[in-house]
Chains A and B, each alone.
Chain A
């Protein structure tokens, strides 16, 4: 007699998938190695020559991530990875560091529940647990992305928008023969912050999801996460509680001509600081409905999305930013005869490792409106509502185009009942000959991206209107001149102009003041060099970069940095 259902192990996540169909080795080595050198030269546009700042800075390192993967039996896997790094110029080991980069144990219990303890990379939905890309990253050409990739790899930001956490996770599922195909369950718990045994409580992030797959036509699910302090782990009795609950559903339809997919997600957050009368309770909701229509034969698609994220929606797992703008760039930190702090720039965005964040934060982190004033916290950016339309496809073989238009407004005004309007127009074009099967064909890739953001709000006779514009453009080239040897070049620029009021928030995310934000400047980065691809997992790249910034409103934002970069990267 056929059983009504079978319980099986579901293996969803692509990385680290254990397959019973192969016989894994008991021991294997994994990891990566890198040699990285940067030679910078600063040129300032000053009427009086800067006689204090040293104009040349050289830095770099060689490092290896050495991982040992042990499989004691078919149901268990242990991974440990050590990072050995030596800065160029370290003498007799003085610049050498040893760090534990990764450590986890995972396996399967009873053939049913898959678990992982230690370091885990986790994500759920864009509103509950998601690691959003940093500003400008998705528009950068390949030549510049090499340096972005280094930063993202070092901070575990390169793993499909997941956050690296320490804790445990488990997954299991049910398969049914009637009505419902399967139900997938995932649960996790991570420690975000350790107590100092005095005034800081242990903080954990925990949650889970249950997804019901009714058929290939319909699926629905519910996700829950909570960002909370553990009572009794310090003498501080103010306890944060920030649960977010989200429900999602998707429907699919496919015919020989059309592929149609509709997705919806809606949910609610609740932020409480227990035993603290100063902090107001904040409850916020979000909702999103998207429909994607695609021609089955050509791949052309049209995607429409309607969304509303209330201003009080607070989801630390989905709103924490990769970039922490409270710090200062380490390279040329102070410049000019007055040795003033150098403001953060696109160059630092690309390579400044010390300003990247790996810890979930309970509040909205600072952001730079000149780079992105519309989606600084990704899809979960609070106080946004409106429509996003995306369309794209392949015009001719090898040439793809994608256009996007955002038309958003605030759900609640800031400082005035009138909300800001946000408009984003974006186009991405990419041509490559990789689709051609000719054996002697050399690799050629051309790409161009442009995005224009506008933020506006009328003013009154008493205060200024908001009018902030940002234009980002990028052009990239990869040209294989000799087999596996590519000429790579890229140009990315950003221009910003206008005025806005930026909210100043207290520790409970409440706005208590506004600061005037006025910019009128541009930044550009031009890069050209050679890349030799040893294999898909190894390359050597040498390039010259020219960075230039000029902002009328910032005294220390008139300079160029000429950069020589040498990068050898291998993954194994």
Chain B
């Protein structure tokens, strides 16, 4: 009997003194181990069609956890997608691509170069893949200018010098091959030109948007040429508060966003409708109408291209104006 108790006690101690499988802190293997690529870079779908909802993943296995970066560059568009992580493998959990871009422009049907690099290792792995189509985004697309300047939109352009409010077609577009180019010199007015987007163009007197301003986002892609530092873009959203089909500037709300592009190249504007403000001459002001941000009552979007009258020539591009719901655009 005593022997049995003794052996049971020994077994209990042995079981009780086991070491947990998980360990604390960073892996010593990761901190001190040498780096080796055990399984080289591979791509699960080398001819991916994002418009059809396809996805592609990158795979690789390393000897230890490292900071890695996968960089995909569109060889035609110049679009760049970057994915980063700290792990000892790439797989569908940490390196899956749905066609989004990190740095505009957006990907299109094109060949892409893939590059896998490591923060603390000199190795670089390269591969390529082909896109049958770019990503299709959900939302109310106002225009991507791929069919030219939309019919039903109205425009006003000052009679200044070198005025160029036109749709351009070349590889510089943020999406596709076309964008709207705004530029010129107007030395008597801030306004260089504008275009207006009435909701009626889209089949109803007001834009068909979610009434919750927290869930509605306005997105647009803006381009600042390297030599231009004086451009301002003002977006205005006029609401038909009383829903009579007419905007009254004295009794109905107009919310605005003023953008001062500071980064050269394309940037993405994401604005939550709830964050829009009433602006007068660029400064916040009391609401004109009921003061309630009501996306579903928005009846017209105006885009004004501005610059100080004495600042000389100015220029900027705009592309892919779209309302999205439940989150900003992920191009």
Contact = CB atoms under 8 A, between A and B. Distances in A.
Interface string B13-33: 100110111111111110111
Nearest to A457: B28
Contact of B25 (A411, A460, A462, A503): A503
Interface in B1-45: 13, 16-17, 19-29, 31-34
A413 B24 contact: yes
A463 B23 contact: no
B31 A419 contact: no
A416 to B, nearest CB: 5
Interface in A415-466: 415-419, 460, 462-464
Contacts of B13: 306, 387
Interface residues of B, number: 19
Contacts of B32: 462-464
Contacts of B29: 416, 460, 462-463
A512 interface: yes
Nearest to A513: B26
A503 B64 CA distance: 20
Interface in A451-497: 460, 462-464
Given A416-B28, A416-B29, A514-B31, A308 B16 contact: yes
A412 interface: yes
Given A462-B32, A462-B33, A463-B33, A413 B26 contact: no
A411 B19 CA distance: 5
Given A416-B29, A460-B29, A462-B32, A511 B17 contact: no
A418 B19 contact: yes
A158 B279 CA distance: 72
Contact of A462 (B24, B26, B34): B34
B23 A306 contact: no
Interface in A271-310: 306, 308
A414 B20 CA distance: 10
Interface in A384-407: 385-387
A466 to B, nearest CB: 10
A503 B283 CA distance: 54
Given A462-B33, A462-B34, A416 B27 contact: yes
A142 interface: no
A410 B20 CA distance: 9
Given A387-B13, A415-B31, A462-B33, A511 B25 contact: yes
A514 B25 contact: yes
B26 A514 contact: yes
B17 A415 contact: no
A501 B34 CA distance: 18
A190 to B, nearest CB: 31
A223 interface: no
B17 A413 contact: no
A242 interface: no
A417 B22 CA distance: 6
A464 B32 CA distance: 9
A311 interface: yes
Interface in A175-207: none
A366 to B, nearest CB: 16
B203 to A, nearest CB: 45
Contacts of B21: 417
B24 A412 contact: yes
B16 A385 contact: yes
B25 A308 contact: no
Contacts of B22: 412, 417
Contacts of A503: 24-25
A387 B34 CA distance: 37
Contacts of B27: 415-416
Given A462-B33, A462-B34, A415 B20 contact: no
A387 B33 CA distance: 33
A409 interface: yes
Contacts of B31: 415, 463, 513-514
Residue of B21, B31, B32, B64 contacting most chain A CB atoms (<10 Å): B32
B17 A308 contact: yes
Nearest to B27: A415
A525 B64 CA distance: 47
Given A462-B32, A463-B33, A414 B25 contact: yes
Contacts of A306: 13, 16
Interface string B274-288: 000000000000000
Interface in B92-110: none
B19 A415 contact: no
Contacts of A415: 23-28, 31
Nearest to B32: A463
Contact of A385 (B17, B28, B34): B17
Residue of B19, B20, B25, B31 contacting most chain A CB atoms (<10 Å): B25
B296 to A, nearest CB: 35
A412 B19 contact: yes
Contacts of A501: 28
A419 B19 CA distance: 6
Contacts of A308: 16-17
A386 B31 CA distance: 29
A409 B19 contact: yes
A462 B19 contact: no
A514 B23 contact: no
A409 B17 CA distance: 8
Contact of B23 (A386, A416, A512): A416
B62 to A, nearest CB: 13
Contacts of B34: 462
A311 B19 CA distance: 11
The 4 closest A-B pairs by CB, nearest first: A511-B25, A462-B33, A415-B28, A463-B32
19 contacts: A311-B20, A311-B24, A387-B13, A409-B17, A412-B24, A413-B20, A413-B23, A414-B24, A415-B23, A415-B24, A415-B25, A417-B23, A460-B29, A460-B33, A462-B28, A464-B32, A510-B24, A511-B24, A513-B31
Given A415-B27, A512-B25, 4 more contacts: A411-B20, A418-B19, A464-B32, A514-B31
Interface of B: 13, 16-17, 19-29, 31-34, 64
Interface of A: 306, 308, 311, 383, 385-387, 409-419, 460, 462-464, 501, 503, 510-514
